[in-house]
Amino acid sequence: MDNRGVGYIYDSESRAFYPDTPLGGGEVADGDGVVWMVRYVIRCGGNDPDLHGNQICVEAMCEEDGQHGFYVQVYRRENAGDPWQTWPGREQICHTAGEDGEPIPLADVEAEVIAFLEEHYEAIAEPEIEVAPAVNAVVNLPVIAATEDPGTVGFDIENPLPGSVEAEPSYAWSWSNGTGGQGPGRGYDGTDPLAEPGHYPVHAVYARSGQGQVDLTATWEVTLFVEGNPPITDIEPLVYEAAETFTVRSARTVLVD
């Protein structure tokens, strides 16, 4: 619910958010003075006057006087124990949300999420690779790679609608010798990679000298939370890439006195 008192319902088919304003109801008197209990039900399959809440669907969307809304069917009954009956002549009414009725495309929300991530989380938008040895790798010895891992990040957004976001990363590595790896890796910390090769989950061994390269693909899965909706995972994963080159040299035997 935003600061104007307007909530939103997300429709995955149209990939848009629609204002969820109260449909009213309560009691209404007809022309004969009979006071009816009334309930408004959006004309989507599965909605029922005996069930609380309304699901939305593209088929029920309508527009009237430039305002967006949904077709509703009006039900009435005289007493709480009576079954709901359709109100003749009110089987399909375009119920609009007033000046706040314009739908919000998911793409607009996605753009806000990306802008926030790239402004406040540099390690996400521009991942960097740490390679060890940093200058000269050696044939048949491990080359280690790692990147900063912010972990799952979370933040709130206000525009174009209020909500919260969680972004969770995964990392895929590709070495120029044809090997690969997963995860953020671990930078060199003094542990001997020959004695404990599993200590560095992202590493490669080159059998020949020459230029080498390691490529990183960081993929961020985004979940959007908007009040009144289940978690929304329709935002396309955000993918960022980086690469680092290095030189692999042959070890030479040096004779000393």
Top-confidence residue, 13 or 73: 73
DSSP string, 142-157: EEEEEE----SEEEEE
Once rounded to an integer, what is the mean pLDDT over residues 81-87? Answer: 91
Once rounded to an integer, what is the mean pLDDT over residues 5-24? Answer: 73
pLDDT of residue 2: 40
Instruction: Answer whether residue 115 shows pLDDT above 60.
Output: yes
**Nearest 5°: phi and psi at 52?**
-80, 145
Burial status of residue 250 (CB atoms within 10 A of its CB: 0-12, 13-18, 19 or more): exposed
Once rounded to an integer, what is the mean pLDDT over residues 126-152? Answer: 94
Instruction: Answer whether residue 22 shows pLDDT above 60.
Output: no
Pairing of strands 163-175, 210-225: antiparallel
Once rounded to an integer, what is the mean pLDDT over residues 91-103? Answer: 73
Q: DSSP secondary-structure letter at 208?
A: S
101 falls in which pLDDT band (50, 70, 90)? low
Q: What is the pLDDT of residues 182-226, one digit of tens each?
A: 999 999 999 999 999 899 999 999 999 999 999 999 999 999 999
Of 105, 110, 118, 122, the C-alpha closest to 223 is 110
Instruction: Answer whether residue 55 shows pLDDT above 80.
Output: no
Helix (H, G, I), strand (E, B) or coil at 135: coil
| CA 256 from centroid of its chain's CA atoms | 62
